[in-house]
Structure 1
Amino acid sequence: MMENVRIYEVGPRDGLQNEKAIVPTQTKIALIDLLSQAGFSHIEATSFVPAKWVPQMADATEVLNGINRAHGVTYAALTPNIIGYEKALAAKADEVAIFGAASETFSQKNINCTIAESIERFIPIVERALADGVPVRGYVSCVVGCPYEGDIAPEAVAQIAAKLFELGCYEISLGDTIGAGTPEKIIAMLNAVKQHVPVDKLAGHYHDTNGNALDNVKASLNEGLRNFDSAIGGLGGCPYAPGAKGNVSTVKLAHMLEREHYHTGLNFDVLAKAEALLSTLGENHD
């Protein structure tokens, strides 16, 4: 019997946020509607961040209000502060995410505060979400390397992951933001994090900047991970991480997992339609 691996689709948010040209709201809705048919249990749909930070996400409410919600699919939104959380709740996001970093410099560049200050900011969001019955997912960026600081110590990653888990995040997504990871570095990082957070509460979020993402997924599978983030068409990257373009492609990841005898439950015909829609954005992302 094939073992299940969950792929968490992040293309509509983490993927599109880095597109220079504003993607029409109706195109975002059409993309999410296709992804909703593809067999995902979780789709990161948008983020409620100030438009001056990420103009691409200024239509977050319209996107969540416009999609056709499929039964059994969780639609998530990134919420950096309590104002964003309240907007996400009003737009009926099923899940929210908070975003920390293992690098002090990246934290300052990305969310304009120290790591410690970011945790303080997250406390009211998580408390409110848990009281409202809304699941919270925690992200840790720069888990291997930082565009400003270079290599990141595995224990630094473990500390922020542990804090997010203690706050009440049901899962911690470990982001190789600049694609600096190699299997050896990923394993070292995971071994540190697993001392603090159960492996079934972890997800790998690996960028393919240097072509190592699939090898890093394989190494993570051997370490017990069964949850991975990816973006349709290999979209995106963080706007605050120079040169970081390229989440691992959902289709490439799913094909690799199937070859390795894992079950993803995804429909490749529908995924092909979603990739075809992306080609209308004027750039080939795969």
Structure 2
Amino acid sequence: MNLPATVRIVEVGPRDGLQNEAAPIPTAVKIRLIEDLAAAGLSEIEAGAFVSPKWVPQMADSAAVLAGLTRDPRKRYPVLVPNLQGLEAALTAGARDVAVFAAASESFSRKNTNCSIDDSIARFEPVLSRARSAGVPVRGYVSCVLGCPYEGEIAPEAVARVAKSLIDIGCHEISLGDTIGVGTPLATQRMIGAVAEAVPIPQLAAHFHDTYGQALANLLAAMQMGISVIDSSVAGLGGCPYAKGATGNVATEDVVFMLDGMGIQSGIDLTRLAEAGWRVLRHFDRAPQAGVSRALWQKAQKSQA
């Protein structure tokens, strides 16, 4: 199998994982989670989003999170920005990595950003220009790459067109998101094959939700295509407010366990990672639900009994 020797994991839990929690989460809890994840070996951790608090109230304290972090200079702490105003707020708060988000589905784009796909790309052009002048790299997300809650199946060519548009305006990396978790391995490979004709594989990342339990299989399929960057969320936290019923991202613990078992290096300490997840779950008074985290937690409980 054509598998990478190492994989870079982009931890999205503190942003994508927490953004849909209904009850406000204290800033200190978010900061502790990010610092715990960095201590576990994560090198890139999404720290927040500079979006309107009206739409995503949980991210309203992103500036305070960045201000309170003890940052490791070897780590990256990207934040999501929807427009130029969001970028300026992020830069003022000290962000040194940002991300923008588009969709491969026209309907999803209008529901999520209140504009068409083409208009969303045009909206990002001044964002990329300003970020470039500030020396800040921009990552691009593409949602609904394997299915849409409003349109159903999405053509791989549609994904490729959006991914190339983001690269053309200056994004350094494109994260391909199965937002509602309906993808399967062969569909994943067909989609990546189409995108790779427009964007080089080294500039692509895989971002899969686990709604139908296919995320790990899809990630293996993606790695077989040469992808070596994976987005995941500690403890499987998260979902999508615009995709009813969609569960969280694939759990980082599950990904690391799979990579460890395959001899693929990630640089992450699985035990410390799981403990970081347990700590934030205690804030919600929840037991671990994601597979590896739950298994390790049950093992730890037995050893303490």
Q: Common fold, TM-score beyond 0.5?
A: yes
Other-structure match for 1:187: 189
Other-structure match for 1:83: 85
Q: Partners of 2:250 and 2:152 in 1: how far apart?
A: 21
Q: Partners of 1:237 and 1:13 in 2: how far apart?
A: 11
- Within a 5 Å distance, the mapping from 1:78-227 to structure 2 comes to 78-227=80-229
3-state DSSP class of the match of 1:262? coil
Other-structure match for 1:282: 285
Deviation at 1:14, TM superposition (A): 0.6
Q: Partners of 1:256 and 1:134 in 2: how far apart?
A: 33
Letter in 2 for 1:205: H
Other-structure match for 2:303: none
Deviations 1:13-69 (A, max 9, x none): 011011121111110011011011111221111000000000100101001101110
Deviations 1:129-181 (A, max 9, x none): 01110000000000000001100000000000000011111100000000010
Other-structure match for 1:62: 64
Runs (5+) with no aligned partner, structure 1: none
Other-structure match for 1:267: 269
Q: Tell me if structure 2 keeps the 8 A contact 1:98–1:138.
A: yes
Count of residue correspondences:
285
Runs (5+) with no aligned partner, structure 2: 291-305
Which structure has the larger Rg?
2
Q: Partners of 1:90 and 1:273 in 2: how far apart?
A: 33
Q: Tell me if structure 2 keeps the 8 A contact 1:107–1:114.
A: yes
Q: Partners of 2:88 and 2:40 in 1: how far apart?
A: 29
3-state DSSP class of the match of 1:35? helix
Correspondence 1:239 to 2:246: no
Dislocated runs of 4+, deviation >2 Å: 282-286
Q: Partners of 1:71 and 1:165 in 2: how far apart?
A: 27
Deviates more, 1:268-277 or 1:173-182: 268-277
Q: Tell me if structure 1 keeps the 8 A contact 2:143–2:177.
A: yes
3-state DSSP class of the match of 2:46? strand
Other-structure match for 2:299: none
Other-structure match for 1:40: 42
Q: Partners of 2:274 and 2:261 in 1: how far apart?
A: 18
Correspondence 1:256 to 2:268: no
Deviations 1:161-207 (A, max 9, x none): 00001111110000000001000110110010000000000000000
Q: Partners of 2:222 and 2:262 in 1: how far apart?
A: 13
Q: Partners of 2:193 and 2:281 in 1: how far apart?
A: 39
* TM-score (normalizing by structure 1): 0.98
Q: Partners of 1:71 and 1:90 in 2: how far apart?
A: 18
Q: Partners of 2:96 and 2:247 in 1: how far apart?
A: 27
* TM-score (normalizing by structure 2): 0.92
3-state DSSP class of the match of 2:202? helix
3-state DSSP class of the match of 1:100? strand
Q: Partners of 1:270 and 1:78 in 2: how far apart?
A: 26
Q: Partners of 1:258 and 1:192 in 2: how far apart?
A: 29
Q: Partners of 1:195 and 1:83 in 2: how far apart?
A: 33
3-state DSSP class of the match of 2:79? strand
Deviation at 1:269, TM superposition (A): 2.5
Q: Partners of 2:109 and 2:47 in 1: how far apart?
A: 23
Q: Partners of 2:271 and 2:185 in 1: how far apart?
A: 31
Letter in 2 for 1:154: P
Q: Tell me if structure 1 keeps the 8 A contact 2:235–2:274.
A: no
